[in-house]
């Protein structure tokens, strides 16, 4: 099928390349001319494992092209995926101005039947608004349309894998035509019938669940999913705080809690909290939707509050060890909001670095992929060539993103390089016993090894 994808960001580019790989002819549009130039020159505008090869192969096969004019893509395709950004406004609501702008362009140039699919994360009832928009502005008499919601669940860092092996594909539609076109588009993924570009000997997998709902429900499924995952993270962080205070071990607690099949182990890892371009903005937007509908979403406000507090708590922990931070040389490992991406949007690591700078610390940082983007946000720190360099003469190392690379370091060498062998592990990525055996002082999140002595029966 001929498909237009608007937006060549993390979601748009992965979607465009994935659809091309499964046999469609895709035109991917972005109004950022620099991005289009980079892509047409064979480069990548951001780091995502496995994506570069996919884009190269499909461009060479003429199944994937990049342009900057929406009109030229929409005129050649009966289907358009909207994958533009929906960042937060000051009040927490999603900014839908890019979605609106793209819809305006589509209504100006679409001819015949056109299926408009919102893949950007949008508040419930956006599809309804799009339908109204098209019926007002779609002034070409031959233009008849369907709007569908197809929320995206990929995780940066494993986005390509998630495209080909999703847990489910959700489509919100209000016509059989829209549902059957979406099923046709995703058939190779649903049936897992493609030659897997991710795994060399890809195991045979069962059919991917294809969940067809009304449009409102599909939009809501996305916000509800992200809010639930964020809630799990804040929940375990709240428990971790208690573990530290009373002398319990949050890692052990989380492991045993997660073994309950009704709960599940993922997203139960204590740390410095969630970040990225999705969770923080999506829980805010969902809470605004709830508020607007007269529903009590105080739960999500609390999830957000717990998460925001992580930054100050972490810095306090460091101050507790180093007393005064002013003038102290600190090594930072990790700047991306999570491993395997260069994305630093709402990264807890950057929030911590900013706080350390405000305290007067001398910060020297290293991240395997995110330094260019971090530099644009925080130019005033020293960016190091590798993790060892960041450790040199440091009075403490703060580990903020759990890159696999950090686990493979020669920690004996790291210890020798440091002024004081102290590791403050914001992601609980190292083994306490292993680093202690090498002579490090080690503080993680949620271990009550340094518990305040509460009087027994204080509760
Ligand atoms: N990043 C994720 O992990 C992820 C996962 C699921 C859903 N989402 C959602 O998907 C959407 C996109 O997220 P992203 O991370 O890919 O954002 P992004 O910022 O990486 O990409 C958005 C792209 O859209 C382009 N764009 C904006 N306005 C445009 C216009 N008028 N015409 C053409 N191009 C335009 C931008 O230049 C940019 O390249 C958001 O709603 C986000 O919440 C993101």
Q: What is the pLDDT along the chain (459 residues), one digit of tens a residue?
A: 999 999 999 999 999 999 999 999 999 999 999 999 999 999 999 999 999 999 999 999 999 999 999 999 999 999 999 999 999 999 999 999 999 999 999 999 888 999 999 999 999 999 999 999 998 887 677 888 999 999 999 999 999 999 999 999 999 999 999 999 999 999 999 999 999 999 999 998 999 999 999 999 999 999 999 999 999 999 999 999 999 999 999 999 999 999 999 999 999 999 999 999 999 999 999 999 999 999 999 999 999 999 999 999 999 999 999 999 999 999 999 999 999 999 999 999 999 999 999 999 999 999 999 999 999 999 999 999 999 999 999 999 999 999 999 999 999 999 999 999 999 999 999 999 999 999 999 999 999 776 555 555 544
278 catalytically annotated: yes
How far apart CA 110 and CA 107 sit, in angstroms, is 6
Q: Ligand 1 site: residues with CB under 6 angstroms?
A: 6-12, 29-32, 35, 83-86, 98, 101-102, 120-121, 152, 154, 156, 277-278
CA distance 209 to 167: 7
d(CA 10, ligand 1 centre) in Å: 7
User: Which position among 83, 243, 278, 384 bears the catalytic label?
Assistant: 278
Place of tokens 């305006």: 104
**Alpha-carbon span 219 to 151, nearest angstrom:** 7
Instruction: Tell me, in angstroms, the distance from the centre of ligand 1 to residue 96's CA.
Output: 11
* Closest CA relative to residue 118, chosen from 135, 106, 108, 136: 106
Q: What are 194's two structure tokens?
A: 């493609």
The β-bridge relationship of strands 25-29 and 64-67 is: parallel
Residue 417 Cα, ligand 1 centroid: separation in angstroms?
A: 41
Q: How is the beta sheet containing 169-172 ordered, strand by strand? A: 64-67, 25-29, 2-6, 79-82, 113-118, 144-149, 169-172, 210-213
pTM of structure: 0.95
- Which of 35, 72, 84, 108 for mutating ligand 1's site (highest number of atoms within 8 Å of CB)? 84
The first and second tokens of residue 141, run together, are: 């008499």
Instruction: Give the pair of three-digit tokens for residue 314.
Output: 């972490």
- Return the biggest CA–CA distance within the chain: 78
The per-residue DSSP string of 402-417 comes to --HHHHTS-HHHHHHH
As a whole number of angstroms, the distance between CA 279 and CA 44 comes to 25
Q: Ligand 1 centre and the CA of 344: distance in Å? A: 14
């Amino acid at each position: 099928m001929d498909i237009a994808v608007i937006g060549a960001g993390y979601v748009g580019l992965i979607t465009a390349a994935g659809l091309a790989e499964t046999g469609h002819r895709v035109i991917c549009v972005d109004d950022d001319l620099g991005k289009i130039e980079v892509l047409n020159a064979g480069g990548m505008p951001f780091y995502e494992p496995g994506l570069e090869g996919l884009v190269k192969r499909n461009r060479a096969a003429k199944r994937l092209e990049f342009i900057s004019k929406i009109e030229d893509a929409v005129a050649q395709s009966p289907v358009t995926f909207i994958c533009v950004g929906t960042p937060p406004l000051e009040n927490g609501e999603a900014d839908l101005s890019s979605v609106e702008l793209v819809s305006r362009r589509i209504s100006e140039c679409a001819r015949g039947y056109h299926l408009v699919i919102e893949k950007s994360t949008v508040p419930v009832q956006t599809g309804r608004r799009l339908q109204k928009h098209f019926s007002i502005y779609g002034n070409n008499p031959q233009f008849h349309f369907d709007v569908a919601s197809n929320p995206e669940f990929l995780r940066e860092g494993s986005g390509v894998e998630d495209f080909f092996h999703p847990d489910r594909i959700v489509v919100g539609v209000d016509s059989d035509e829209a549902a059957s076109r979406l099923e046709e588009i995703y058939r190779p993924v649903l049936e897992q019938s493609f030659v897997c570009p991710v795994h060399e000997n890809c195991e045979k997998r069962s059919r991917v669940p294809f969940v067809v709902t009304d449009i409102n429900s599909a939009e809501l499924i996305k916000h509800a999913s992200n809010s639930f995952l964020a809630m799990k993270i804040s929940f375990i962080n709240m428990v971790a705080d208690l573990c530290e205070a009373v002398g319990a071990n949050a890692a052990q607690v989380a492991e045993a809690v997660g073994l309950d099949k009704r709960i599940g182990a993922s997203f139960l890892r204590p740390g410095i909290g969630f970040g990225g371009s999705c969770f923080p903005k999506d829980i805010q937007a969902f809470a605004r939707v709830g508020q607007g509908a007269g529903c009590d979403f105080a739960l999500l406000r609390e999830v957000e509050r717990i998460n925001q507090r992580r930054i100050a708590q972490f810095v306090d922990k460091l101050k507790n060890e180093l007393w005064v931070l002013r003038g102290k040389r600190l090594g930072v490992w990790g700047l991306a909001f999570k491993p395997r991406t260069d994305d630093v949007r709402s990264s807890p690591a950057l929030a911590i670095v900013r706080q350390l700078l405000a305290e007067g610390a001398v910060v020297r940082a290293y991240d395997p992929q995110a330094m260019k983007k971090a530099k644009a946000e925080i130019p005033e720190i020293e960016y190091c060539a590798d993790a060892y360099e960041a450790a040199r003469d440091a009075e403490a190392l703060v580990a903020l993103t759990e890159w696999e690379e950090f686990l493979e370091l020669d920690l004996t060498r790291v210890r020798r390089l440091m002024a004081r062998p102290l590791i403050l592990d914001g992601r609980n990525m190292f083994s306490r016993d292993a680093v202690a055996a090498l002579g490090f002082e080690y503080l993680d999140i949620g271990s009550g090894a340094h518990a305040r002595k509460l009087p027994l029966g204080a509760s």
